[in-house]
Copies of this chain bind each other. A is one copy, B any other.
Amino acid sequence: MARIVMKFGGTSVADMTRIKAVAERVKREVDAGNEVAVVVSAMSGETNKLVAFTREASLLHDAREYDTVVAAGEQVTAGLTALALQAIGVNARSWLGWQIPLRTDGVHSKARILGIDTDDLIKRMKDGQFPVLAGFQGLGPDNRITTLGRGGSDTSAVALAAALHADRCDIFTDVDGVYTSDPRIVTKARKLDKITYEEMLEMASLGAKVLQTRSVELAMNHGVRVQVLSSFVDMPGTMVVDEEEIVEQQVVSGIAYSKDEAKITLVKVADRPGIAAGIFGPLADAAINVDMIVQNVSEDGKSTDLTFTVTKADLDRTVQVLESRKADLDYKAITPDPNVVKISVIGVGMRSHAGVAQTMFKTLAERGINIQVISTSEIKISVLINEEYTELALRALHTAYGLDAA
């Protein structure tokens, strides 16, 4: 017997046919003698519809009313899923955020979970009544509905699993797991049986939209074993677990990419103390996130080239901010370039293995691919290259690191 949290995303509860399939899937875990708690998202498309209504209602954004409106989506699926379970003989009941209560802070529309009262839930599960929680929502200190931000149902599920000390948190989605690379590009990509929290975090923040970053952080902090699997196909997915659970660690677990990058070079910036603060301070004030930064060694001791990346959406605004500061910053030119891609090699094993970066540089050089910027973290090496080479680079690196399927 295990205690399992099962979370179903929007495409998994898109209509009544899908909701009935979800009920059957839950019933199998119940019939196997497990204590099961279910977390559901809104029907796919429903949240977007409700968000659009709130925008139409008011340009002034009262996040408390926004939360009241959009939380209705999960309320509906929670009730319907409980009904569908009852229809096949499973004693289930819906729980809304305020009923549990799942308490959050008062930051409406992107609230953080403070605590979940699970005594009653556990007692009822032991008595054979299985809870179906409306994901994404909680109760704020003002006794009003809060929501957790986009993808918040993943966070609800992981937080519930932590509070329930669940053996596993199954996140059902429309993909069947985490892959070594994007299977649409790298046909030899393999589904991973296991991946560490740290690797999953890097992958999530690089745009592998399998799990919300916050939910992975939460799982890591509380040691919740998360499984990503498909609600459409019946097979095991990918377990996201602690490093210690992975006996034979690959040096590299996956190759990710992000096309959402743009490069900016400031040519011949004055090379004096405080210049970096003079550049990145105004960008931070404008809420522009800067990712990779490279400053060349000054040749003449007076000026240098400084290159960094922002999201494509922020590129024009970044140029505007820098042009407005030209007098202060004393640079010669700005060279914006949106035609870049960030390729990342990820693996906790690289901590203990030398030569991982070298393999990357050599592989790309052999294909004639020029590396524009490099950045590294403990478990990741990222390079910026010309966008044209995305597919070539991904496939070459996938092979070079021995990740290709047999």
Within 8 A of B (CB), among A65-123: 65-66, 68-69, 71-73, 75-76, 78-84, 86-87, 93-94, 96, 98-99
Residue with the greatest number of chain B CB neighbours at <10 A, chosen from A69, A143, A144: A69
B residues within 8 A CB of A50? Answer: 76
Determine how close the nearest CB of chain B comes to the CB of A77; give it in whole angstroms: 9
Whether A171 is near chain B, meaning CB under 8 Å from some CB there, is no
Whether A62 is near chain B, meaning CB under 8 Å from some CB there, is yes
Whether A32 is near chain B, meaning CB under 8 Å from some CB there, is no
Residue with the greatest number of chain B CB neighbours at <10 A, chosen from A62, A79, A80, A143: A79
Determine how close the nearest CB of chain B comes to the CB of A140; give it in whole angstroms: 11
| A53-B16, A144-B99 known; A69+B59 contact, CB < 8 A | no
Task: Indicate if the CB atoms of B80 and A57 lie closer than 8 Å.
Answer: yes
Chain A 18-41, CB within 8 Å of chain B: the 1/0 string?
Answer: 011000000000000000000000
B residues within 8 A CB of A19? Answer: 57
B residues within 8 A CB of A354? Answer: none
**Docked pose: A79 CA to B75 CA in angstroms:** 15
Task: Indicate if the CB atoms of A75 and B78 lie closer than 8 Å.
Answer: no
Top-6 shortest CB links A-B: A69-B79, A57-B83, A58-B87, A68-B79, A58-B83, A72-B72
**Docked pose: A96 CA to B50 CA in angstroms:** 17
Task: Indicate if the CB atoms of A83 and B62 lie closer than 8 Å.
Answer: yes
Q: Indicate how many identical chains form the complex.
A: 2
Smallest CB gap from A94: residue in B: B68
**Docked pose: A86 CA to B57 CA in angstroms:** 9
Whether A54 is near chain B, meaning CB under 8 Å from some CB there, is yes
Supplied contacts A58-B87, A69-B76, 5 more A-B pairs, CB within 8 Å: A57-B83, A62-B82, A64-B93, A68-B96, A98-B98
Smallest CB gap from A81: residue in B: B57
B residues within 8 A CB of A72? Answer: 72-73, 75-76
Task: Indicate if the CB atoms of B58 and A86 lie closer than 8 Å.
Answer: yes
**Docked pose: A58 CA to B88 CA in angstroms:** 9
Whether A248 is near chain B, meaning CB under 8 Å from some CB there, is no
B residues within 8 A CB of A86? Answer: 58, 60, 62, 65
B residues within 8 A CB of A93? Answer: 64-65
**Docked pose: A5 CA to B339 CA in angstroms:** 59
B residues within 8 A CB of A87? Answer: 57-60
Task: Indicate if the CB atoms of A83 and B99 lie closer than 8 Å.
Answer: no
Whether A56 is near chain B, meaning CB under 8 Å from some CB there, is yes
